Amino acid sequence: MDFALDEDQTAIQDMASGFAADRLAPNAAEWDATAHFPKDIYREAAALGLAAMYTGEEHGGSALGRMEAALVFEALAEGCVTTSAYLSIHNMVAWMIDSFGSDETRAEFLPSLCTMDLFASYCLTEPGSGSDAASLKTSATTHGNADYKLNGGKAFISGGGTSDVYLVMARTSEDGPKGVSTFLVPKDAKGISFGKTEDKMGWNSQPTAQVIFDDCIIPARNRLGNEGEGFTFAMKGLDGGRINIAACSLGGAKAAMKAAANYSVERKQFGKPIADFQATQMKLADMATDFAACQLMTYRAAHAHDTGDPRVREKSAQAKRFVTDACWHIVDEALQLHGGYGYIKDYGIERILRDLRVHRILEGTNEIMRTIIARRILKDVKDATLDEAFSV
């Protein structure tokens, strides 16, 4: 498996890195401190083709692969983890509409999502169903001849109250995953409202709030696919979303690791740079090795998605579990190398640590990732295909 970047991929990575250095990194600390959601910056990113990267070109998407998207999210997160993470959610919604929506729905929503004239949120989690997503209670019942009526609520929604379009999983029939359908709910729909903006540990420059449906009326044409297909759509969206959030973790870890390496050369103790001490060198070596492993797992999962690998769910789960855990640890070690300065906001490491912590929870907790991986291994035992579980 060759992960050497071709000329186009290198150009895309360089473009994203330049945008991150010029437009994200200089502002990330202020956005975090003031809880500012930089819509103008997102629209600049959209103008570069980054708002619908793996959406088709028909309605304005960039038609890139998941490998290219991973490179972009990694590069952007080096400048600002939170901005890159929200952009990954927006991209996921655009892709789901492009993949599962009707021609009419795609034409109605995608052009404005591609330019980020409209911002999008993904709504699966509920106050009473987080890891057990298939038990969601938000309902969608037929209303009149051509409408649905939604009741219930979603929790921890990135962009909640700010986004213009909400991709919502709601129950249309029986309990369990087969009774779930997917709907697009505009912010101005009758009966939609929002909870308070949550006061969070990290991800402060993107708002998070409950989305509440009280006899919320939407047209039937806003349903994606057929009734009962929604949970399948949601899981396919998350297969890619887990790769994206791993890539965002890579970018944050890279920024912290670079800062720690530079600081170790500049900071002197006992008359010489701390980089001269073997303890520092061991930390830097472990951080760099762990980071290399994280990159390989992320790119492997992206490659699996791009090539239609039937084990993409398992590989995405492995990448999400390993990378988000390991990258958070890399940042923690970078903070430790800074000593007391790492705990000071001026140095930026503590912000990255706060931002990366939630990556181990969202898009499915890392405990759920372990469940997905283990179930596949046990299926391989039953099917006598166990060698496949331990191959590239």
Active-site residues: which are they? 363
Distance in angstroms (rounded) separating the CA atoms of residues 293 and 290: 5
Helix (H, G, I), strand (E, B) or coil at 212: strand
The two tokens of residue 53 are 């990267």
**C-alpha angle 315-316-317 in degrees, rounded to nearest 5:** 90
Compute the half-sphere exposure of residue 368: CA atoms within 13 Å on the CB side of its CA: 18
Compute the half-sphere exposure of residue 106: CA atoms within 13 Å on the CB side of its CA: 18
H helical segments located in the chain = 7-19, 28-34, 39-47, 66-79, 81-100, 103-115, 230-266, 278-306, 312-337, 349-357, 366-383, 386-389
Distance in angstroms (rounded) separating the CA atoms of residues 347 and 257: 13
Query: What Rg value do the Cα atoms of the chain yield, rounded?
Result: 21
**Spatial contact of 304 and 316, defined as CB atoms under 8 Å apart:** yes
**Spatial contact of 138 and 150, defined as CB atoms under 8 Å apart:** yes
The one-letter amino acid code at 187 reads K
Distance in angstroms (rounded) separating the CA atoms of residues 359 and 105: 31
Residue closest to 105 by CA, chosen among 21, 4, 188, 221: 221
